[in-house]
Amino acid sequence: MPSAPDSVQRLRLLSANIQAGSSTRRYSDYATRSWSHVLPAGNKRRALDQIAELAGEHDIVGLQESDPGSWRSGFTNQTHYLAERGGFDYWSHQPNRRVANVASSANGLLSKYEPIEVHDHPLPGRVRGRGLLLARFGDGDAGLTVAVAHLSLGTQSRRAQLSYIAELLHDHPHAVLMGDFNCTADRPEMDILYRSTSLQPPSCAVHTFPSWRPQRAIDHVLVTSALTCDNMRAMPAALSDHLALSVELQVPESALRIDR
């Protein structure tokens, strides 16, 4: 007698490079508004409230360029702030880059599900300051694993980082890798993931950068072949220079330890 099919849990995921709450509306703002990246001005709190409203519609959120508490954020841990404002019981962050006490950047994770464990993984590269935040939501290697990354601009460093990530995820059949990859999904270095893990190329390219005129698909939510992902949409993350990616994910309940 065939075994009964596994029940499926539907989750909403969001990946967002929030640019530490700064506003960028055109390329010239990188020069004329560069002060907003080092000063606690520019109405970042309002931007964070808008991002929290968007994040709160999701179950698990991966953040990039979330300030963990420096001068430019008014020493506010932005991941913690978004967790409180968005209604998330669980949050974690991974500080990566710090410029004295003026500015700092982190990957962040917000979740309405309690992760079993969360790990920080510094990523290799020619310049330090990139990392992978990895959380497990189910028992064993078959449990749901969610990883958040912000990869380097340089191809050589990205190749090393993707090789490292592939080693971490190669034996996880229910895995999600999301973040700002700084490259399109069809770049040669991305083949490392597709060859060495069950992660699949996205079925379509959703342009996310620059947010005011999206022309490049460099933010991704990649899932393994055992998972079903649909309804991928790009959405404004306040006035960040990246659009956020929202997806719906179908996960076997056997891959989750549900405790809400």
Would you state the pLDDT for residue 42? Answer: 54
The per-residue pLDDT for range 45-96, each reduced to its tens digit, is 899 999 999 999 999 999 999 988 776 666 689 999 999 999 999 999 887 7
| 100-135 pLDDT per residue, tens | 454 577 899 999 999 999 999 999 988 777 999 999
pTM of the model as a whole: 0.90
Tell me 26's DSSP state. S
**pLDDT score of 101:** 52
Q: Is the per-residue pLDDT at 154 higher than 60?
A: yes
For the chain, the average pLDDT equals 88
| For the chain, percent of residues with pLDDT exceeding 90 | 72
Once rounded to an integer, what is the mean pLDDT over residues 143-159? 96
Question: What is the arithmetic mean of pLDDT over 136-163?
Answer: 95
Looking at the predicted structure, is the pLDDT value of residue 29 above 60?
Answer: no
Do residues 36 and 22 make contact, with C-beta atoms less than 8 angstroms apart? yes
Sheet of 175-180: strands edge to edge? 117-122, 131-136, 145-150, 175-180, 219-223
Helix H or strand E encompassing 45: helix 44-55
145-160 mean pLDDT: 96
Partners of 47 in the β-ladder: none
pLDDT at 215 (0 to 100): 96
Please check the confidence at residue 32 and state whether its pLDDT lies above 70: no
Q: Over 90: is that where the pLDDT of 165 sits?
A: yes
* pLDDT for 204 beyond 50: yes
User: How much is the pLDDT for 28?
Assistant: 54
pLDDT recorded at residue 26: 62
* Sign of the CA dihedral with 85 first, then 91, 94, and 95 last: positive
Q: What are phi and psi of 187, to 5 degrees?
A: -70, 145
Q: Are 106 and 92 in contact (CB under 8 A)?
A: no
Q: Which two tokens stand for residue 166?
A: 């592939």
